[in-house]
Amino acid sequence: MKTSIATVSISGNLREKLDAIAKVGFDGIEIFEQDFIADTGTPREIGDMIRDHGLEITLFQPFRDFEGLTGDARTRAFDRAKFKFDTMVELGTDLILVCSSVHPDALGGIDRAADDFRELGQLAAERNLRVGYEALAWGRHVNDHRDAWEIVRRADHPNIGLILDSFHTLARKVDPNTTRRIPSDKIFFVQLADAPLIDMDLLYWSRHFRNMPGEGDLAVTDFMRAVAATGYDGPISLEIFNDQFRGGRPEGLARDGYRSLVALMDDVRQSEPGIKIKVPEIPDRIRVDGVEFIEFATRGEDAAALSKLLRTMGFAHVGNHISKKVALWQQGDIRIILNQETTGFAHSAYITHGTAICDVGLKVENAAATSARAAALGAVSFDQEVGPGELEIPAIRSVGGSVMHFVDDESGLSDVWSVEFTRADSEPVVGAGLRMVDHVAETMNYDEMLSWSLFYTSIFDMHRTPVVDVIDPDGLVRSQAIKAGEGAVRITLNGAETHRTLAGSFLADSFGGAVQHVAFATDDIFATARQMMEGGFEPLPMTGNYYTDLQARYGLDAARVEKMKALSILYDEDADGAFYQFYSKPFAGGLFFEIVQRIKNYDGYGAPNAPFRIAAQKRLMRPKGMPRL
Ligand code: MG
Ligand code: MG
């Protein structure tokens, strides 16, 4: 498999782009004309520089408005082509992309275009070059790859072929399976891009909203399956125009791009047998069975306060680490670790962020397969010295530099609790009915959301649900839920664009993305809330107005609403079911816990309640503009 990426997909100057692209493992680049025109090197020097990075120039692009012209305009189009061909020879690439014309004077006619390409093929052949023709979704006469293919077929020249681009085909809702009938030797190049489904002008959509395969809503896998089924085994190249990416970090973008291609081709390999492209075998997407643990890096007064809070919530301090200052708290299937070590990762996390969730453990089917798949997808592995008597549990880096561990039954890693922990002497605790982690909510910059959603959905058997707007009184936060199975693991990614939102100020204070809240599930939220409050738990107080409105909005029974009000329980419902939730007060710089009960098939997170929850939290946090002491 030969992987490639268009230089336009990555931010930075050409040299920064090349460094990032080469580092993450791509084989080649499509060079965009603007990128080399802006560079100070001659075409030959630039070509050498690219090859010095270990990269091949898979394509030179774009060459616009070529076909369908007459008279002087036609002559000039051929002169321009000759000039570009000379540049290609200097750069050291043999393939150019000609996109279908948008020229106002271009005449239609399949045969006229075919004649133009036959003549161009002759010029290209003299220099040992090849020309690929791509149908732009907004081309004047040709906007469908089936028409572009007919032109290439009639041009009937060995140096003229077709370039397929998933965006142009899928944006026009052309059936991708129509490429199955194109001979593979006439497909010169394949470009891939995904995009969110937005109803807008095709050109604008393409130039600003493309994203990596798997980050959007287009059927890119079906498209690539059809291409691979033809026997095509040339480069597979990303061509992504995206406003956010233009301002992103070059290496992060390149890594995401590489990850998206590997995951996509793995899907293609598994669903389209007998293809010619050699795709490395990697473990299947990993089934996740639950959240195994949540680990806080904490210290001193924060640790004492957190322990007290956990006790009021019905958690029992069940264990202490055999050699480290690490306490294990448990209730139902929920395990919370308080790590007060003064060396190692939790220590450095504490120094950087203060009390924070530094590690999340996932229960997986097979931990070794998980790290193998993650590594193949370019995840950064995490290693820390293993002490005597400790298990070697595989881990990778996750959001905001935090760590994610993988525990399984198969290799005995789930015995860690009996192997590494001794029973703590704790007074008997009456639980509050908290059963499992319902969701883990990660806060991040809006710009990072696509990247982390790709992280979860490419490594794990997890699926995205549509982005929901969360209204903070000081700005918008976008929330995307990623879910495994029937909800064994739910992770919400909350993207903040301004520091004035609650999520944004948490981001600023915690120096980067992190878990901001963890929600626990109960089967009887009223009993749970009562039990916790008897234990001294103080819920986040909601306003009287909230309950008056709630009763009016849903026509709820007055006595029930009174009960909710007394316990500060919030409510939402939709066609699938209903949802109860209440919150802790914020602690340690903006972290909080949430308790939820899902009724029937309610699959959301109570987004309609967010403005009221956030307003209540903000009342308890420091006033706006006050620095953190
Ligand atoms: Mg293209
Ligand atoms: Mg929540």
Query: What is the CA(54)–ligand 1 centre distance, in A?
Result: 24
By residue range, what is the domain housing residue 549? 434-620
Q: How far is the CA of 165 from the centre of ligand 1 (A)?
A: 5
Distance 369 CA to ligand 1 centre (A): 35
Residue 538 CA to residue 37 CA, distance in Å, equals 63
Asked if residue 302 is part of any domain, the answer here is: yes
25/255 Cα distance (integer angstroms): 9
Q: What is the CA(492)–ligand 2 centre distance, in A?
A: 8
| Spatial separation of the C-alpha atoms in residues 36 and 93, rounded to whole Å | 13
Question: Quick one: 354 and 212 in the same domain?
Answer: no
> Distance (Å, rounded) from C-alpha 416 to C-alpha 418?
6
- The enclosing domain of 9 has a CATH number of 3.20.20.150
Q: Report CA(438)–ligand 2 centroid distance (Å).
A: 9
- Total residues belonging to the chain: 629
Cα first-last separation, the chain: 54
Q: Please tell me the distance between residue 226's alpha carbon and the centre of ligand 2 in angstroms.
A: 40
Ligand nearest to the CA of 8: 1
Instruction: Give distance in angstroms: CA of 616 to centre of ligand 2.
Output: 15
Question: What is the Å distance from ligand 2's center to 183 Cα?
Answer: 51
Report the alpha-carbon distance of residue 227 to residue 373 in Å, rounded: 25
Same domain, residue pair 301 and 413: yes
Kindly state whether residues 438 and 419 are assigned to the same domain.
no
CB 566 within 8 A of CB 572: no
**Ligand 2 centroid – CA 533 distance (Å):** 20
Burial zone of 537 (CB within 10 Å; 0-12 exposed, 13-18 middle, 19+ buried): buried
Ligand nearest to the CA of 168: 1
State whether 267 and 375 are in the same domain: no
If DSSP codes are grouped into helix, strand and coil, which group holds residue 39?
Answer: coil
Point out the domain boundary residue: 271, 304, 334.
271
Whole-prediction pTM: 0.95
Whether 490 is in a domain gets the answer: yes
Same domain as 580, residue 519: yes
**Helix 14-24 crosses helix 250-271 at what angle (to 10 degrees)?**
40
Interval between CA 255 and ligand 1 midpoint (Å): 21
Q: Is residue 286 part of a domain?
A: no
Helix/strand/coil percent split, the chain, to 5 = 40, 25, 35
DSSP class of residue 448 equals G
**Regions in the chain scoring below 50 on pLDDT:** 628-629
Number of the ligand closest to the Cα of 443 = 2
Which amino acid is it at 457?
Answer: T
Query: Ligand 2 centre and the CA of 603: distance in Å?
Result: 12
- Distance in angstroms (rounded) separating the CA atoms of residues 367 and 625: 45
Kindly state whether residues 231 and 315 are assigned to the same domain: no
- Both 242 and 309 in one domain: the answer is no
Is 345 in the same domain as 480? no
**Amino acid code (one letter) for 395:** A
| Domain end point (choices 271, 305, 323) | 271
Q: Residue 182: phi, psi to the nearest 5? A: -95, 135
Separation of CA 242 and ligand 1 centre (Å): 13
Closest CA to 140 of 97, 182, 109, 176: 109
Among all chains, which residue has been given the structure tokens 């299947």?
284
Predicted confidence at residue 623, as pLDDT, reads 59
Eight-state DSSP code of residue 599: E
User: Nearest CA to 2 among 271, 204, 192?
Assistant: 192
Which phi and psi (to 5°) does residue 475 adopt? 145, 175
Residue 445 pLDDT: 93
Ligand 2 centroid distance, CA of 95 (Å):
51
Q: Identify whether residues 259 and 317 lie together within a single domain.
A: no
- Please count the CA atoms within 13 angstroms of the CA of 599 that sit on its side-chain side: 13
Q: How far is the CA of 571 from the centre of ligand 2 (A)?
A: 13
Cα dist from 307 to 26, 266, 317, 427, 618, whole Å? 48, 45, 8, 13, 24
Residue 85 lies in a domain: yes
Q: Quote the pLDDT of residue 310.
A: 97
State how many domains the chain has: 3
Find the CATH number of the domain harbouring 302.
Answer: 3.10.180.10
User: Using H for helix, E for strand and C for coil, what is the string for 130-151?
Assistant: EEEEECCCCCCCCCCHHHHHHH
Considering the domain boundaries, does residue 429 fall inside one? no
| One-letter identity of residue 192 | L
Place of tokens 């309950």: 547
Q: How far is the CA of 581 from the centre of ligand 2 (A)?
A: 8
d(C-alpha 8, C-alpha 5), whole Å: 8
The pLDDT value given to residue 622: 62
pLDDT number for residue 629: 44
Distance in Å, CA 607 to ligand 2 centroid: 8
**Residue 556 is assigned to a structural domain of this protein:** yes
Same domain assignment for residues 239 and 302:
no
Give distance in angstroms: CA of 517 to centre of ligand 2: 7
**How many CB atoms are closer than 10 A to CB 347?**
16
Q: Tell me, yes or no, whether 123 lies in a domain.
A: yes
Do 265 and 409 lie in a common domain?
A: no
The b-or-e profile of 608-627 (16+ CB within 10 A means b, else e) is bbbebbbbbbbeeeeeeeee
Encoded tokens for 192: 């891939």
Query: 194 is written with which tokens?
Result: 């995904």
Write the DSSP symbol of residue 628: P
Residues 357 and 478 in one domain: no
Q: How far is the CA of 595 from the centre of ligand 2 (A)?
A: 9
- Closest ligand to Cα 210: 1
Rounded Cα distance between 81 and 593, Å, is 63
Of the ligands numbered here, which is closest to the C-alpha atom of 583?
2
CA dist 329 and 338 (Å) reads 8
- Neighbouring C-beta atoms of residue 249, cutoff 10 Å: 17
Q: Calculate how far, in angstroms, residue 362's C-alpha sits from the geometric centre of ligand 2.
A: 19
Ligand 2 centroid distance, CA of 299 (Å): 25
Residue 566 covered by a domain? yes
Q: Kindly give the distance from the C-alpha atom of residue 84 to the centroid of ligand 2, in angstroms, as a whole number.
A: 55
202, 237, 271 - which closes a domain: 271
Query: Mutual orientation of helices 544-554 and 558-567 as an angle, nearest 10°?
Result: 150
Place of tokens 């142009």: 168
Over its C-alpha atoms, the chain yields an Rg (Å, rounded) of: 28
pLDDT at 247: 85
Three-state secondary structure call for residue 308: helix
CA distances from 409 to 242, 256, 383, 414, 438 (A): 42, 31, 21, 5, 21
Please tell me the distance from the alpha carbon of residue 582 to that of residue 406, in angstroms, as a whole number. 30
